């Protein structure tokens, strides 16, 4: 049944697929993941704070991000950020942001909401007595957070955070709506140029599956290695 | 050293401490006992500000705990506290549990903190466990580490919140032995406990608390031999029966 297919096209386009496509996908995943993690931590701490305006702001942000389709966000940022930039800086014309920057900002802001929720749960899972013990030793809130609560919370959260990052890795393929050459975009371009849709999309699926599956397994083995003995 | 004057506390509309007053002088051991839910843990946590209170005054070495101007972290660093569930930091080794606050709170050098930590571990008989993690230790060992951790800060007083009630019976003694030794060296201690043998051995005074109220505050011998209130008598007969 495969006699009509030309799997050679995959071999010929491998350099382009990986050097252009996959490197973009991974760069975007890692950068958006890192930025999202930082912003997500801030959001989680805001949401857990005792100061109602901060809690309210962070909760509003998280709920907004989680209720808007990601594709819409990508579009929205791509088309609106230049105008917001113009308005903020007072420039005479829309600021050029570029597809990469725009998608990076979008994914970072979007993922932060999910990371924040994971971290909030992680921080809350640490028994209250740990904070009390740290404070009883004279640590202030931030010292206790930094040395006692967050390191433990992170260990609990790492598997979930990495799993979320694997989802992010898959979600970055949505940048195709901006005609960006990520891995899927690259595969798609070859597919249309050479008229080899089935082969290329099949190959793309296999690659996404292989990477995600391998990453999940690494996460699982990591999980048992970093677990705290209780 | 520790002075508690007319302290009252409410959770919403429920009053959990009613006009409590007690004092612990330097070098003295005060035991606080009472039925569960009577407010004794809440009271001891008010002493280092882990719990707030709405009325009254608590001073430790003359510094007011409830005063917003007080540097609470600094005050706490000088009052050791031992918890019912140990609350060792499970992600840190035993020695790191002892050195972290020394370094981050009072700014001791790493070497100095480790030396102090090892010395205290030796004192509680756990030198061999310095590089283990809390989860690898028994409950009694963990609680002894927790005591050493508190002592590492050179506290002027120690608070014990039911230090043996989460322990298996065979481990209670090893913890009490450390506490007795500490008391005999003249450490100022406030101890919430049901261990009446311990109380009899080292306490100067005993406070009996029930329903958030201090019912009785008496020298140890008087408390055991002629408790004035019926509630204290009932409590004693229950607790000494077994």
Query: Over 70: is that where the pLDDT of B242 sits?
Result: no
Q: What is the pLDDT of residue A229?
A: 67
Choose among B79, B87, B90: nearest Cβ to A228.
B90
Contact B135 A228 (CB under 8 A): yes
Q: What is the pLDDT of residue B22?
A: 92
Chain B: closest CA distance from residue A122 (Å): 15
Choose among B80, B87, B104: nearest Cβ to A130.
B87
- B79 close to B156: Cβ distance less than 8 angstroms: yes
Query: Rounded to 10 degrees, what is the CA torsion of B152, A143, B141, B50?
Result: 90
Measured at the alpha carbon of residue B158, what is the angle toward residues B153 and B160, in degrees to the nearest 5?
Answer: 125
Q: What is the pLDDT of residue B139?
A: 93
Report the length, in residues, of chain B: 242
Q: What is the pLDDT of residue A2?
A: 63
Q: What are the backbone dihedrals phi and psi of residue B186, each rounded to the nearest 5 degrees, phi first? A: 95, 20
Residue A155 near chain B (CB below 8 Å):
yes
Report, as ranges of residue numbers, the positions in chain A whose pLDDT lies below 70. Answer: 1-3, 229-230
Q: What is the pLDDT of residue A3?
A: 67
Could you state, in order of their start, the residue ranges of all structural domains in chain A?
7-226
Tokens representing A18 are 């990986």
A7-226: CATH architecture: Orthogonal Bundle (1.10)
* Mutant choice from B87, B145, B152 vs A, greatest count of A C-beta within 10 A: B87
Q: What is the pLDDT of residue A8?
A: 80
Choose among B77, B83, B136: nearest Cβ to A129.
B83
Compute the distance between CA of residue B59 and CA of residue A15 in angstroms, rounded to an integer: 73
Helix (H, G, I), strand (E, B) or coil at B219: strand
Mean pLDDT across B128-139? 94
Compute the distance between CA of residue A29 and CA of residue A171 in angstroms, rounded to an integer: 9
Chain B: closest CA distance from residue A158 (Å): 14
Q: What is the pLDDT of residue A99?
A: 82
Mean pLDDT across B144-149? 96
Q: What is the pLDDT of residue A57?
A: 94
Chain B: closest CA distance from residue A148 (Å): 7
Q: What is the pLDDT of residue A30?
A: 94
Pick B240 or A78 by higher pLDDT: A78
Q: What mean pLDDT, rounded, does chain B reach?
A: 92
Over residues B160-172, the pLDDT tens digits come to 999 999 999 889 9
- B240 close to B194: Cβ distance less than 8 angstroms: no
DSSP B128: G
B chain contacts of residue A149, beta-carbon cutoff 8 Å: none
Over residues B48-90, the pLDDT tens digits come to 999 999 999 999 999 999 888 899 999 999 999 999 999 999 9
Choose among B45, B104, B136: nearest Cβ to A143.
B104
Query: Over 90: is that where the pLDDT of B190 sits?
Result: yes
Confidence (pTM): 0.81
């Amino acid at each position: 049944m495969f006699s009509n297919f030309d799997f050679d096209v995959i071999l010929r386009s491998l350099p382009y697929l990986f050097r252009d496509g996959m490197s973009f996908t991974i760069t975007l995943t890692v950068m958006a993941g890192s930025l999202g993690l930082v912003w997500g931590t801030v959001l989680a701490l805001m949401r857990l704070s005792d100061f109602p305006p901060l809690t309210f702001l962070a909760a509003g942000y998280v709920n907004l991000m989680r209720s808007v389709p990601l594709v819409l966000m990508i579009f929205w940022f791509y088309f609106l950020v230049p105008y917001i930039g113009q308005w903020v800086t007072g420039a005479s014309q829309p600021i050029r942001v570029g597809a990469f920057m725009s998608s990076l900002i979008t994914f970072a802001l979007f993922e932060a909401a999910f990371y924040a929720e994971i971290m909030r749960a992680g921080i809350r899972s640490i028994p209250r007595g740990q904070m009390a013990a740290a404070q009883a030793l004279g640590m202030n809130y931030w010292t206790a957070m930094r040395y006692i609560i967050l390191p433990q919370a992170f260990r609990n959260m790492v598997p979930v955070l990495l799993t979320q990052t694997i989802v992010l890795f898959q979600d970055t393929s949505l940048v195709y709506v901006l005609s960006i050459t990520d891995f899927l975009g690259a595969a798609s371009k070859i597919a249309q140029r050479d008229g080899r849709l089935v082969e290329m999309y099949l190959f793309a699926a296999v690659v996404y599956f292989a990477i995600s599956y391998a990453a999940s397994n690494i996460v699982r083995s990591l999980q048992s290695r970093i677990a705290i003995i209780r | 050293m520790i002075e508690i004057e007319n302290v009252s506390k409410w959770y919403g509309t429920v009053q959990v401490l009613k006009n409590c007053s007690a004092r612990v002088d330097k070098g003295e051991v005060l035991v606080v006992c009472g039925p569960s839910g009577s407010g004794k843990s809440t009271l001891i946590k008010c002493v280092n500000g882990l719990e707030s209170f709405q009325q009254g005054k608590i001073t430790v070495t003359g510094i007011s705990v409830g005063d917003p101007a007080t540097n609470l972290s600094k005050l706490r660093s000088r009052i050791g506290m031992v918890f019912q569930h140990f609350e060792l930091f499970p992600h840190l080794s035993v020695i790191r549990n002892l050195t972290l606050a020394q370094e981050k709170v009072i700014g001791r050098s790493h070497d100095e903190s480790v030396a102090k930590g090892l010395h205290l571990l030796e004192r509680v008989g756990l030198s061999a466990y310095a590089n283990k993690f809390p989860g690898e230790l028994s409950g009694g060992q963990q609680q002894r580490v927790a005591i050493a951790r508190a002592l590492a800060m050179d506290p002027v007083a120690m608070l014990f919140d039911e230090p043996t009630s989460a322990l298996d019976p065979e481990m209670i003694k090893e913890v009490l032995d450390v506490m007795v030794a500490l008391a005999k060296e003249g450490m100022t201690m406030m101890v919430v406990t049901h261990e009446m043998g311990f109380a009899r051995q080292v306490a100067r005074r005993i406070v009996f608390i029930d329903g958030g109220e201090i019912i009785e505050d008496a020298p140890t011998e008087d408390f055991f031999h002629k408790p004035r209130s019926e509630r204290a008598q009932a409590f004693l007969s229950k607790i000494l029966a077994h």
